[in-house]
């Protein structure tokens, strides 16, 4: 009888733990989550979880960096790509962010909540300011409007993409938007965001 591959077994167990940790951390946040909760979600004992990840902090670090990379890593390659036009960058950002957030609707709230609680951790891991300052996007924006602070412009773009997902519970609770209608609005938003951001550049 063939013996089980220990590497595959270890990888499978580690992935089960990380999958369970994603669910628990996303639902409860770092502070309210316990390693016991994660072990139960993964269907393993606490000793085995501690064998793979010696602390909740270490496990959270991995999950948090995955989520931060999901949220901010989506836009970074677009910003630095010198082969695409400014208009194409905006279209790509709108499409990729909306796709990402439809698939992971709780992602922005989780990441922003944890960054607010642990800003030093976030700052030590990702230097978005440096990425932006050296980006093709910034050079293209300055060529179009030197008088516009790029921070304002980026805030507007990100706000247009993130805010509907952050405010979704309010929209649903008040009956302003239904779940079906929300998806339709997000599909429309892919095309509208490039138009709205273009209008900002035309504002004097």
What integer pLDDT is reported at residue 30 of this predicted model?
Answer: 83
- Of the pLDDT bands very low, low, confident and very high (cuts 50, 70, 90), residue 154 is confident
| Token couple for 183 | 């998806």
**pLDDT the model gives residue 125:** 64
Question: Which secondary-structure segment (H or E) carries 37?
Answer: helix 35-42
How many CB atoms are located within 10 Å of the residue 58 CB? 10
Give pLDDT, residue 1. Answer: 41
How confident is the model at residue 17, as a pLDDT?
94
pLDDT at res. 128: 65
82, 136 contact by CB (below 8 A): yes
DSSP state of 3: P
For 37-175, list the strands marked E by DSSP.
Answer: none
3-state secondary structure 150-184: HHHHHHHHHHHHHHHHHCHHHHHHHCCCCHHHHHH
Give which of 30, 22, 31 is closest to 67, Cα–Cα. Answer: 22
Q: ∠ CA(112), CA(190), CA(173), 5° rounding?
A: 55
pLDDT of residue 7: 46
Q: Residues 89-140: pLDDT tens digits?
A: 999 999 998 998 888 888 888 888 878 877 776 766 666 667 777 889 889 9
Report whether 21 contacts 63 (CB < 8 A). yes
Comparing CA positions, the residue from 56, 57, 39, 59 lying closest to residue 47 is 39
Structure tokens at 181: 């209608």
- How confident is the model over 1-60, as pLDDT tens digits? 444 454 444 558 899 999 999 889 888 888 888 999 999 999 999 999 999 988 888 898
pLDDT at residue number 35: 92
Share of the chain above pLDDT 90, in %: 33
- What mean pLDDT comes out for the span 161-167? 90
What's the number of CA atoms in the CB half-sphere (13 Å) around residue 191? 4
Domains in the chain, ordered, with CATH? 1-54 (1.10.10.60), 63-202 (1.10.357)
What is this structure's pTM? Answer: 0.73
Query: Which tens digits make up the pLDDT trace of 59-101?
Result: 988 888 888 777 777 888 898 899 999 999 999 999 998 998 8
């Amino acid at each position: 009888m063939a013996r089980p591959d220990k590497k595959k077994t270890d990888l499978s167990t580690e992935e089960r733990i990380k999958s369970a940790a994603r669910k628990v951390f996303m639902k409860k946040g770092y502070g309210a989550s316990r390693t016991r909760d994660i072990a139960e979600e993964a269907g393993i004992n606490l000793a085995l979880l501690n064998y793979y990840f010696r602390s909740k902090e270490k496990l959270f670090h991995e999950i948090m960096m995955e989520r931060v990379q999901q949220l901010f890593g989506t836009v970074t390659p677009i910003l630095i790509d010198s082969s695409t036009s400014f208009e194409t960058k905006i279209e790509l950002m709108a499409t990729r962010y909306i796709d990402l957030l439809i698939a992971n609707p709780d992602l922005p709230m989780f990441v922003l909540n944890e960054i607010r609680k642990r800003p030093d951790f976030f700052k030590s891991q990702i230097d978005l300011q440096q990425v932006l300052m050296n980006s093709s996007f910034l050079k293209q924006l300055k060529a179009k409007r030197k008088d516009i602070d790029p921070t304002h412009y980026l805030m507007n773009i990100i706000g247009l993409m993130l805010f509907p997902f952050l405010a979704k519970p309010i929209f649903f609770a008040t009956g302003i938007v239904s779940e079906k209608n929300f998806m339709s609005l997000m599909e429309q938003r892919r095309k509208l965001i490039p138009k709205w951001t273009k209008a900002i550049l035309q504002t004097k």
